[in-house]
């Protein structure tokens, strides 16, 4: 009898488990209650489906800042005063602007008849409010608010920005990044990060969010029919987290995706996909040297390491396609800011050996320089690190690779507990002001060797000079000089620049383009909302 009781219990438990699984499967949150009767599945699918991992709730304060996905998702819903297309900075919410003689005052005239998604009209007050609000509640992407002294309304649709200093990247990297948010929504919100009311997504952008499911990274944007800038030329755009992009593309789960892998791009091109390469490349893999390391603080050793590494070989083996070995001056060769006179450090083991000998690191009987043992930390399995190890072995240097996870990596860099670190990231084709942020200890970001200054008087001076130089030609000259110093001193060694490849079907949508210098602060991707808009004449 007892045994029977137990078996009922087990049965009950099973039923419960099964039921709980079924009943809860409807956890995705429909944000707008659009009850369109569906006739067939094919029709219900969004027309453009892009593969990218989950980037968080796309409100201006809750999106994930690890990776450009969150910022881009947010940019579909919200607009900025300026934006970028294939030619550079273009007017967006502001249809024109004036700069004062001294370069400290910008006056923007806003577009007429811009409506928030809830029907309210955009006003100059919203712009003023936005910049006050983000001072207190930081916007989770870039945009150096501290450059702004004050923002004030000077007319119904004019706003004036007063700056602390002249700031060259103002139009592209500040008002081109911070989204304008509606005052009537956010003035009541004191905890913007956890704010999840549907009004958190009320922007002026070309899309509204129909559905977001955080566990599968699905975003479903539908076109905003009343967009001020023109008509939106697609019905909807969707994103989903595809673990294996190639397979998902082949199975038509997604129909557009970007990859860093040239071989994947090549393969899918053969299968009928169109491939677009990011130009300029905008992304790099580089070695960061610890300048307080007793041996690495000597620039001759850093140079010797540069000669010992065959970076062209590395790029062509790992990435494929046309290899772009790293520029000594960090800015990639295909960027408009590139200085072609920088030192390139052609692969030359004889020279490397000679320099190492001169530095006093003698080889022992086994061809190993016993006094020179270096370690390299990496945050993921890295072919670059393996190749470096092999290449350095040829000149008698023993390289010890330490693999740690992301957070450990970052904290090791923050505490200067490393010899060399290997890191890869984007943003090198945007405004060259990033060189100042990296090397003047402004960036808290680990990649910039946080907190530690690049101790070079002349470089520091130039970095501040370029920031205030509003004449592009002159600024380019200064940035060129900065690159010369960087290539001589090698505070960091770029191994190679790697382009992203965008895979898509031209028959489904063919308006994709490369944004000049990358979207916003230099994101070398294709999710630029300008591609979806037929501008009004």
Q: Which parts of 61-80 interact with another protein (CB under 8 A)?
A: 62, 64-68, 71
Return the residue matching tokens 């290899």.
Answer: 323
From the list 305-313, 318-326, 338-346, 429-437, the region that binds another protein by CB under 8 A is 429-437
Binding segment (CB under 8 A) for another protein, from list 289-297, 329-337, 443-451, 476-484: 443-451
Q: Which of 96, 370, 411, 458 binds another protein (CB under 8 A)?
A: 411
CB-based contacts of 420, cutoff 8 Å, min separation 6: 287, 288, 289, 290, 296, 374, 375, 376, 377
CB of 62 to another protein, least distance (A): 5
383-394 and 299-308 helices, crossing angle to 10°: 100
The verdict on 17 binding another protein (CB under 8 A) reads: yes
C-beta of 350: minimal distance to another protein in Å? 35
The contact pattern for another protein, residues 183-212, with x = CB under 8 A and - = no contact, is ----------xx-x--------------x-
Residues 113-135 as b/e (b if ≥16 CB within 10 A, e otherwise) read ebebbeeeebbbebbbbbbebbe
What value does the CA radius of gyration of the chain take, rounded to a whole number of Å? 26
Instruction: Classify strands 373-378 and 420-426 as parallel, antiparallel or unpaired.
Output: parallel
Does 268 bind another protein (CB under 8 A)? Our answer is no
Q: Does 483 help bind another protein (rule: CB under 8 A)?
A: no
Alpha helix stretches (DSSP H) within 124-250: 124-136, 170-173, 183-186, 245-250
What is the closest distance, in whole angstroms, from the C-beta atom of residue 123 to another protein in the complex? Answer: 27
Joined together, the tokens standing for residue 251 give: 């199975």
In the bound complex, what is the minimum distance in angstroms from residue 196's beta carbon to another protein?
A: 7
Which one of 414, 465, 477, 488 is in contact with another protein (CB under 8 A)?
414
3-state per-residue secondary structure call for 379-417? CCCCHHHHHHHHHHHHCCCEEEEEECCHHHHHHHHHCCC
Distance from C-alpha of 147 to C-alpha of 168, rounded to nearest angstrom: 11
- What tokens appear for 485 in the block? 């110093």
How far apart (Å, rounded) are the C-alpha atoms in residues 474 and 463? 13
Provide the minimum distance between the beta carbon of 154 and another protein in the complex, in angstroms, as a whole number: 27
Asked if 442 interacts with another protein (CB under 8 A), we say yes
Nearest CA to 161 among 177, 183, 145, 173?
145
Binding to another protein (CB under 8 A): which residues in 140-179? 140-142, 144-146
The reply on whether position 4 binds another protein by CB under 8 A is no
Does 407 engage in binding with another protein (CB under 8 A)? yes
Residue 295 Cβ, how far from another protein at the closest point, in Å?
Answer: 25
The answer to the question of residue 514 lying near another protein (CB under 8 A) is: no
Residue span binding another protein (CB under 8 A) among the ranges 14-22, 104-112, 331-339, 460-468: 14-22
Determine whether 23 is exposed, middle or buried from the number of CB atoms within 10 Å of its CB (0-12, 13-18, 19+): exposed
| Total residues interacting with another protein, rule: CB under 8 A | 87
Q: Does 43 bind another protein (CB under 8 A)?
A: no
Decide: is 251 part of the binding site for another protein (CB under 8 A): yes
Measure CA of the first residue to CA of the last residue in the chain; give whole Å.
Answer: 84
Told to check if 215 binds another protein by CB under 8 A, we report yes
Dihedrals φ, ψ of 327, to 5°? Answer: -80, 140
Three-class secondary structure of residue 282 per DSSP: coil
Q: Which residue's CB is nearer to another protein, number 397 or number 420?
A: 420
Site string for another protein, 81-120 (x = CB under 8 A): ----------------------------------------
Strand, coil or helix: what is 359?
coil
Residues 350-379 that bind another protein (CB under 8 A): 379
Stretch that binds another protein, among 119-127, 235-243, 365-373, 485-493 (CB under 8 A): 235-243
Looking at 157, 158, 335, 410, which residue binds another protein (CB under 8 A)? Answer: 410
Round to whole Å and give the CA distance between 201 and 347: 52
Q: Which of 105, 137, 153, 456 binds another protein (CB under 8 A)?
A: 137
Residues 374-403 that bind another protein (CB under 8 A): 379
E strands within 300-397? 324-325, 373-378
């Amino acid at each position: 009898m007892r045994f029977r009781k137990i078996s009922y219990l087990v049965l009950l438990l099973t039923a419960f488990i099964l039921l709980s699984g079924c009943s809860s499967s409807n956890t995705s949150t429909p944000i707008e209650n659009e009850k369109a009767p569906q006739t067939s599945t094919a029709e219900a699918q969004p027309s453009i489906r892009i593969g990218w991992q989950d980037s968080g709730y796309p409100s201006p304060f809750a999106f994930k800042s690890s990776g450009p996905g969150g910022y881009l998702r947010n940019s579909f819903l919200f607009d900025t005063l300026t934006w970028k297309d294939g030619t550079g900075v273009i007017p967006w919410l502001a249809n024109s602007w004036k700069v004062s003689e001294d370069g400290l005052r910008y006056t923007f005239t806003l577009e007429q008849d811009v409506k928030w998604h809830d029907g309210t009209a955009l006003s100059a007050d919203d712009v003023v409010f936005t910049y006050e609000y983000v001072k207190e509640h930081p916007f989770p992407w870039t945009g150096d608010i501290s450059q702004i002294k004050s923002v004030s309304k000077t007319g119904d649709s004019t706003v004036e920005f007063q700056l602390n200093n002249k700031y060259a990247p103002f139009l592209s990297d500040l008002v081109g990044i911070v989204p304008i948010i509606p005052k009537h929504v956010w003035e009541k919100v004191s905890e913007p990060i956890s704010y999840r009311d549907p009004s958190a997504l009320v922007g002026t952008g070309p899309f509204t969010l129909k559905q977001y499911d955080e566990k599968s990274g699905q975003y479903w944007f539908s076109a905003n029919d009343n967009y001020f800038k023109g008509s939106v030329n697609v019905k909807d755009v969707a994103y989903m987290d595809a673990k294996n992009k190639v397979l998902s593309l082949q199975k038509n789960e997604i129909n557009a995706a970007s990859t860093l892998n040239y071989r994947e791009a090549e393969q899918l091109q053969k299968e009928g996909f169109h491939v677009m390469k990011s130009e300029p490349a905008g992304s790099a893999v580089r070695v960061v040297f610890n300048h307080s390391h007793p041996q690495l603080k000597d620039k001759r050793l850093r140079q010797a390491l540069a000669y010992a590494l065959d970076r062209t070989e590395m790029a062509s083996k790992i990435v494929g396609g046309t290899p772009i070995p790293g520029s000594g001056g960090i800015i990639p060769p295909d960027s408009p800011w590139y200085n072609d006179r920088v030192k390139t450090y052609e692969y030359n083991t004889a020279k490397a050996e000679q320099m190492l000998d001169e530095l006093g690191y003698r080889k022992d009987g086994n061809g190993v320089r016993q006094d020179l043992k270096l370690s390299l930390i990496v945050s993921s399995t890295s072919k670059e690190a393996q190749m470096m190890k092999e290449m350095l072995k040829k000149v008698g240097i023993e390289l010890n690779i330490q693999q740690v996870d992301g957070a450990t990596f970052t904290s090791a860099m923050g505490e200067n507990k490393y010899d060399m670190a290997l890191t890869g990231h984007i943003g090198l084709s945007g405004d060259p002001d990033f060189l100042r942020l990296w090397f003047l200890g402004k960036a808290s970001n680990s990649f910039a060797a946080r907190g530690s200054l690049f101790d070079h008087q002349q470089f520091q001076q130039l970095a501040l000079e370029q920031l205030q130089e509003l004449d592009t030609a002159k600024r380019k000259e200064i940035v060129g000089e900065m690159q010369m110093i960087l290539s001589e001193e090698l505070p960091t060694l770029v191994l190679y620049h790697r382009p992203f490849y965008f895979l898509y079907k031209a028959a489904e949508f063919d308006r994709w383009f490369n944004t000049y210098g990358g979207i916003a602060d230099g994101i070398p991707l294709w999710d630029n909302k300008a591609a979806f808009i037929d501008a009004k004449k």
